[in-house]
Amino acid sequence: MPELSEHLDGFGWVNASGETGCSAANPRPFNLQWGRNIRDLCAEKGIPFYFSHIGGWNRYPSRLLDGVEHNQVPLLPEPAVKQLKVLELEEGGDLRQAAP
């Protein structure tokens, strides 16, 4: 995945997951090798990696990647936490700031 490696510089956290939920009528299959590649690139670059789930139709999709839960989150200093913003994608495709 050399093309992805070039774009990870400056990232403070990577969260990977498969498609699931109400809006995923036909969730695309999650290629476990993609997850492994991203996990390994994050490890090489010292970027915290969080694996949310494989996705699919299962009500409780697996959070395991190669038998391991990956729960790394970045440690943020207090001023950064106060400035943290969460964006949500609206149905029409527009981004809006989520309520605190």
Give which of 34, 32, 21 is closest to 91, Cα–Cα: 21
Q: What is the pLDDT of residues 38-66, one digit of tens each?
A: 899 999 999 899 998 887 766 666 888 88
How is the chain split into domains, by residue range?
A: 2-75
Phi, then psi, of 35 in degrees rounded to 5: -60, -40
User: Higher pLDDT residue, 31 or 91?
Assistant: 31
